[in-house]
Amino acid sequence: MMKLLTVDETWVQCLAMWKWISRQCKGKSLVWCNDNVSDLKIRWLEKHGIRDGEISQNCFFCHKSGARYYICGKCPARQVDPEFSCMDIGYSFLTHPRKFYAKLKELNKIRLQGDQNDT
């Protein structure tokens, strides 16, 4: 099992994964991406030396929160937006991977602004 990452490391890894997935889906039909998002996650992880299943749900946020499924109150994204759900119909990671990546970038920007306000 992969070591538990810090919150910052978790965000960096998650954003890197979804940036890559988003680029793979650019110009492709939504159906093509829908059928392959899980495979794309595995491909990204393997390219970075992480075996399929080594992190919970092949998701850095699930792994950080200790979730066994995709919905968890301890999700790092929910620490920024309590209403966040990776399964949200408007930006679901499975059906809208590019919108999902955009949502993650938006939340990370808010998170980083909050860190600056704390200092």
Residue 105, H or E segment? helix 97-118
Per-residue pLDDT of the chain (119 residues; tens, 9 = 90+): 677 799 999 999 999 999 999 998 877 666 666 668 989 999 999 999 999 889 988 999 999 988 666 667 789 999 999 999 999 999 999 888 999 999 999 999 999 998 766 65
Q: Which two tokens stand for residue 92?
A: 């679901």
User: What is the three-class DSSP state of 46?
Assistant: helix
Contact 65/79 with Cβ under 8 angstroms?
Answer: no
Place of tokens 């704390």: 118
Contact 105/15 with Cβ under 8 angstroms?
Answer: yes
Q: Is the pTM of this model over 0.75?
A: yes
